[in-house]
Amino acid sequence: MAKRTILTAPDPRLKAKGKDVDKVDGDIRRLIDDMLETMYAADGVGLAAVQIGVALNVVVMDIAQKEGKNDPQVFINPKILWASEETAKFEEGCLSVPDIWEEVTRHTAIRAQYLDRDGNQQVVEADGFLADCLQHEIDHLSGKLFIDHLSRLKRSMALKKLGKAKRQKELA
């Protein structure tokens, strides 16, 4: 396993659309292990391969980490099959947009299909935090950041704040 560098906005590679994984093999499992190590090291609950510069449709998540537990989940080629009409605002942050937290409107429940770590087809019914996180990570696979859901003004303010923080970090 190896910790990878997480890209941060406005890196253009974050806008790349992921490609479906044809075969779940040792290379994909190594990528998954690296992604999990990277996510845990950054104290995140989700990470998409595009966030480490790999344009493949692979997502890792561990929402149990919020409670100090470990329950890693892997979603390869995830697709939303159904989304509830009901929506709610969730406060989101992102490892690729550090230190920015904003409310984003998402579907409260979804059904998604994906391949697991062993290449088996799975379907998950998700609501609450799991649904929010999965939608957030699937957005990454199509080149979309959570700040893209914000108004132009809020997105602009978030990017300015991010730029200022990067400059301060470089000076330190």
Report pLDDT digits (tens) over 86-116: 999 999 999 999 989 999 999 999 999 999 9
137 contacts: CB under 8 Å, gap ≥ 6: 46, 47, 48, 59, 61, 75, 78
Per the annotation, the verdict on 137 as an active-site residue is yes
Q: What are the extents of the domains in the chain? A: 12-171
Annotated active-site residue in 91, 102, 137, 170: 137
pTM for the whole thing?
0.94
pLDDT of residue 169: 77
Q: What is the 3-state secondary structure (H, E, C) of 45-105?
A: CEEEHHHHCCCECEEEECHHHHHCCCCCEEEEEEEEEEECCCEEEEEEEECCEEEEEEEEE
Please state which of the four CATH numbers 3.30.420.40, 3.90.45.10, 3.30.590.10, 3.30.70.330 is assigned to the domain occupying 12-171.
3.90.45.10
Report pLDDT digits (tens) over 17-76: 999 999 999 999 999 999 999 999 999 999 999 999 999 999 999 999 878 889 999 999
